[in-house]
């Protein structure tokens, strides 16, 4: 009898298998059985800490097999996994703890002393897990048994809470249910033909949907293996590619590979599949990749709130500059942003999606949920697109003020609020401009207060204290005024056009 649908579909089938699951750069191999024993020990310890089903477990830890086992442990113990980018500052972390009411924060040992007062203030327990697997969590788990009585859950219960930044500058916790994750993993295993003999080259972070659910859940469900690298390192990717069958990455993975002469048709020839997502893959990159390797990258489109929505076909034409077709079970429509009415085929509008993949809403933010998730189940993605005559979905822009840098989402509002507070600043605008490596990067424009000469170095230093590194403006510029439309709204498109070559010309 199914007691915990997600645990049963991802893990249970392979629990006894000695087949490889994680292949580490050190050469160490962790089998499916050993991984689940590790997860069971963590689950035992989490229960001993007094956590009960539905409690949130925040994990701000480095990528490691143990960090992945913590995810599996949360599923098995009925806890809600809340992964966080280690780049977040303590200030940013405080917001996530407070908003989620996390019962436990797992952090790196090096951060524990500094974070203890924050955790105490939030009434959150603290445990440590270091990149090498040591720490108080592993110490506690080491005396727990290799098996754990899986906690019963239902498909509609929460499995994970993933924060996504908001246009107002405050992050929102997307509530993902067991069914959301299971249905998407099932669809992708089938659509991308994942099998037990697949070996995925995994160099993505595991605190986002892409590296955690798309890559990991799909491999787990198929019973395959992952070459598990701590981060993107092109040398390691090239060295290890001969042992892999599939690579998943953001477009920066592919542009960096193409920049390397060692990445040849011979090296890539045996690979079964290259998948790209999280940010637009330039049609030019798609073509260059095909010329170099003979492979067509399979581009797909997803969101934290929806998991994967569309994918180019496995067998049919993988069309450059498109994100393919809606996945089975997903309904996608293009609507008029003002009226919400569906537009005729071929017209550009906002993309809305509905299906078993679509989340349950934002954690304790009913107004924001109501604004983006319609009563009939359609989620308003904030992306602008069109469907061509052959049914391929094209993403042509965004109806939301969002920058995607190397696959990380950055909401300008959060940075503008900080810049506006700095001495000598009247107002600011933060825009994304093209960047050869990251796709887009952050440019901050500052309008000085009358008679003031803002100190750009001091402003940059202030941003560095409060914001995660990937959100830091790569450059700040002084401008006299910001262009506004008749409604008084800053015309960021004009700024982007004027400044689009800031990082692309030498």
Q: Which residues bind ligand MCA (CB under 6 A)?
A: 204-205, 208-211, 231-232, 250, 252, 277-278, 302-304, 405-408, 438, 469-470
Smaller CB separation from ligand MCA, 187 or 252: 252
398, interface contact from ligand AMP, ligand MCA, none, CB < 5-8 Å by kind = ligand AMP
Q: Across the chain, how many H-helices and E-strands are there?
A: 17, 24
Smaller CB separation from ligand AMP, 212 or 267: 212
323, interface contact from ligand AMP, ligand MCA, none, CB < 5-8 Å by kind = ligand AMP
274, interface contact from ligand MCA, ligand AMP, none, CB < 5-8 Å by kind = none
Smaller CB separation from ligand AMP, 102 or 279: 279
Does residue number 280 form part of the binding site for ligand AMP (CB under 6 A)?
Answer: yes
383, interface contact from ligand AMP, ligand MCA, none, CB < 5-8 Å by kind = ligand AMP
Does residue number 302 form part of the binding site for ligand AMP (CB under 6 A)?
Answer: yes
Smaller CB separation from ligand MCA, 343 or 462: 462
Identify the helix (H) or strand (E) that includes residue 71: helix 65-77
Question: Burial level of 87, CB count in 10 A (0-12/13-18/19+)?
Answer: middle
The torsion region of residue 135 among left (phi > 0), alpha (psi -120 to 50) and beta comes to: left
CB of 219 to ligand AMP, least distance (A): 20
Tokens of 321: 């500059």
280, interface contact from ligand MCA, ligand AMP, none, CB < 5-8 Å by kind = ligand AMP
Smaller CB separation from ligand MCA, 51 or 162: 162
Which residue of 164, 180, 255, 357 would you call a contact of ligand AMP, by CB under 6 A?
164
Rule CB under 6 A: which of 200-219 touch ligand AMP? 209
Smaller CB separation from ligand AMP, 223 or 277: 277
Which residue of 11, 21, 263, 301 would you call a contact of ligand AMP, by CB under 6 A?
301
Smaller CB separation from ligand MCA, 5 or 277: 277
**CA dist., res. 280 & res. 290, Å (int):** 17
Q: How many residues make up the chain in this entry?
A: 506
395, interface contact from ligand MCA, ligand AMP, none, CB < 5-8 Å by kind = ligand AMP
Q: Kindly calculate the radius of gyration of the chain based on its CA atoms and give it in whole angstroms.
A: 23
453: three-class secondary structure by DSSP: coil
406, interface contact from ligand AMP, ligand MCA, none, CB < 5-8 Å by kind = ligand MCA
> CB within 8 A of 472, min separation 6: which ones?
442, 460, 463, 464
Rule CB under 6 A: which of 240-279 touch ligand AMP? 277-279
252, interface contact from ligand MCA, ligand AMP, none, CB < 5-8 Å by kind = ligand MCA
Rule CB under 6 A: which of 391-410 touch ligand AMP? 395, 398, 404, 409
205, interface contact from ligand MCA, ligand AMP, none, CB < 5-8 Å by kind = ligand MCA
* Of residues 312, 324, 325, 257, the one with CA closest to residue 285: 257
Where do the H-state alpha helices sit in 243-400? 251-258, 265-268, 283-293, 366-372
CB of 357 to ligand MCA, least distance (A): 11
Does residue number 414 form part of the binding site for ligand AMP (CB under 6 A)?
Answer: no
Work out whether the CA dihedral 84, 445, 351, 314 comes out positive or negative.
Answer: negative
Smaller CB separation from ligand MCA, 180 or 209: 209
Q: In what order do the strands lie in the sheet with 56-60?
A: 125-128, 104-107, 56-60, 80-83, 158-164, 172-177
**CA dist., res. 233 & res. 236, Å (int):** 5
Beta strands in 64-132 (DSSP E): 80-83, 104-107, 125-128
Identify the helix (H) or strand (E) that includes residue 158: strand 158-164
Note whether 350 and 380 are within 8 A (CB).
yes
Cα 379 off chain centre by: 18
Which residues sit opposite 199 in a β-bridge?
225
Contacting positions for ligand AMP (CB under 6 A): 164, 209, 277-280, 299, 301-304, 323, 381, 383, 395, 398, 404, 409
């Amino acid at each position: 009898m199914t007691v915990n649908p997600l645990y049963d579909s991802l893990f249970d089938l392979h629990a006894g298998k000695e087949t490889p699951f994680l292949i580490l750069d050190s050469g160490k191999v962790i089998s499916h059985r050993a991984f689940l024993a590790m997860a069971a020990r963590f689950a035992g310890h989490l229960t001993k800490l007094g956590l009960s089903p539905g409690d949130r477990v925040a994990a701000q830890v480095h990528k490691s097999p143990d960090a992945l086992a913590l995810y599996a442990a949360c599923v098995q113990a009925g806890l809600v996994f809340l992964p966080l980018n280690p780049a977040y500052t303590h200030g940013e972390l405080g917001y996530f703890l407070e908003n989620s009411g996390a019962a436990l924060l797992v952090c790196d040992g090096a951060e524990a002393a500094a974070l203890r007062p924050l955790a105490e203030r939030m009434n959150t327990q603290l445990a440590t897990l270091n990149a090498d697997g040591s720490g108080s969590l592993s110490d506690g788990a080491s005396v727990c048994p290799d098996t754990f009585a899986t906690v019963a859950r239902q498909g509609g219960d929460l499995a994970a809470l993933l924060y996504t930044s908001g246009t107002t500058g405050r992050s929102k916790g997307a509530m993902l249910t067991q069914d959301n994750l299971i249905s998407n993993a099932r669809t992708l295993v089938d659509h991308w033909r994942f099998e037990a003999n697949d070996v995925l080259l995994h160099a993505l972070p595991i605190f986002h949907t892409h590296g955690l659910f798309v890559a990991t859940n799909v491999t787990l469900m198929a019973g395959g293996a992952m070459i598990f690298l701590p981060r993107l390192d092109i040398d390691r990717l090239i060295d290890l590619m001969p042992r892999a069958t599939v690579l998943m990455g953001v477009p920066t993975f592919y542009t960096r590979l193409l920049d390397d002469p060692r990445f040849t048709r011979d090296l890539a020839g045996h690979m079964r599949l290259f998948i790209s997502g999280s940010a637009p893959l330039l049609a030019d990159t798609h073509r260059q990749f095909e010329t170099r390797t003979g492979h067509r990258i399979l581009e797909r489109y997803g969101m934290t709130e929806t998991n994967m929505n569309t994918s180019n076909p496995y067998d049919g034409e993988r069309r450059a500059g498109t994100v393919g077709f809606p996945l089975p079970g997903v309904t996608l429509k293009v609507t008029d942003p003002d009226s919400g009415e569906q537009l005729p085929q071929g017209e550009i509008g906002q993309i809305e999606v509905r299906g078993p993949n679509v989340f349950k809403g934002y954690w304790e933010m009913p107004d924001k949920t109501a604004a983006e998730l319609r009563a009939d189940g359609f989620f308003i993605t904030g992306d602008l697109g069109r469907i061509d005559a052959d049914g391929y979905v094209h993403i042509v822009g965004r109806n939301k003020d969002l920058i995607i840098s190397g696959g990380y989402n950055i909401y300008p509002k959060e940075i503008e609020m900080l810049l506006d507070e700095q001495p000598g600043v009247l107002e600011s605008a933060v825009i994304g401009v093209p960047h050869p490596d990251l796709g887009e990067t952050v440019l901050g424009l500052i309008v000085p207060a009358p008679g003031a000469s803002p100190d750009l170095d001091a402003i940059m230093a202030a941003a560095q204290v409060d914001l995660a590194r990937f959100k830091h403006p790569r450059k700040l510029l002084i401008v006299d005024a910001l262009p506004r439309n008749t409604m008084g709204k800053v015309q960021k498109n004009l700024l982007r056009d004027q400044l689009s070559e800031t990082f692309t010309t030498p």
